[in-house]
Structure 1
Amino acid sequence: MSKLKHDRLLAFHVEGKFLGFTVDRDSTPKYLQLEVATGQLRIKIAKQSRFRLGSTLKPGDRIEVFGEQKFKYETGEFKLKADRIHKLTANSDNDSDRQPENGKVKIVACYKPGCLKKGGSKLVSVLEGVLRDRGLGDRVTIQTTGCLKRCSQAPNLILKPDNLSLNNMTPEAAIAALLERVDEHFA
């Protein structure tokens, strides 16, 4: 009787309820948590999908995941890695995707060298000043993140919860877009 002494790859397809992300140190989604009939799964996300998914999936969404499962011979564990993820239905618990999470509008700002060289650092600094000067710190947060994959259009921001992309923005234009969103959400 021979034993397998190497890892084995097998394809998988699973559907379930998206519970949330596990992020790495720069707040990039690295794993997703999925609730299935038999419990919960932790699935690693392919690098090319990480930034796109962070802005499209919300807890409670029904999704299907395709990928590879690797059986680790040494540990006897299966490791799952997603190649493709598709949203099947939106979260039915959420009446309005436009309601700010925790009552706040969030600005996600790329803080990688490409955006920083094209004014990203100044843009974030100016936005922080405007928020402070107008007393909006309790309504708007700024989160820096890794590359948003739009380097040619730098600097790059995303306004949440609308997932509005702001590219190649001057501080003045970004402030105008931000204040418009804040007025919409808190009017």
Structure 2
Amino acid sequence: MGKSHQQVSKFALEGRLLGFFDKKNKKAKQLGIATTEGIQTIDLSLSKKERASLSDALNRGDRIRVSGKRKLNLKTGKLKLKARQVLPASPAEICQQYTSASPCQLESETAPAPDKPVKILICQKSDCRKRGGKAVCQALEESLRESGLQDRVKIKATGCMSRCKLGPNVVVMPDKTRYTKFKPKEVPELIAKHL
């Protein structure tokens, strides 16, 4: 299939580990994760050694962060996720569960610097607007003005984020935290958490 029929982007998810599995030979080539958006099956794009250390270090029910590459087949609508990194949800857990220093270093390298500008992306395509995207945008602008944060945060209206039925969709950058079915009343919580 040509690349023109695929949309490739990065993803980052956080949730509870459901387990490692592979349908064919029962090796840890995939993982299941329960997120606020539902259950996801993610292919592991890791070496055998990395997969083995993950299955030893993590237990079912642990909170984890998964990041990697997301491929959307534009013809079929099929979404495929490939994990490049799987870590416990908090940096303290990372350092306790891994003996190697590299996962801790990776976490600190990928954590956003405090002086990076914050962008809040809000889908403004028709489905998200119908579900309240415009009201979310207005509530965010108002709340930022009241808090005096309008100079530190940029609100950007975007095109489709490919989760139309879960709209309105909001993404906070640079940490790529995604919110779905976001309501204007949740704006103060988002500001408190990220700003």
- Taking structure 2 as the reference length, the TM-score comes to 0.46
Structure with more of its chain in strand, by fraction: 1
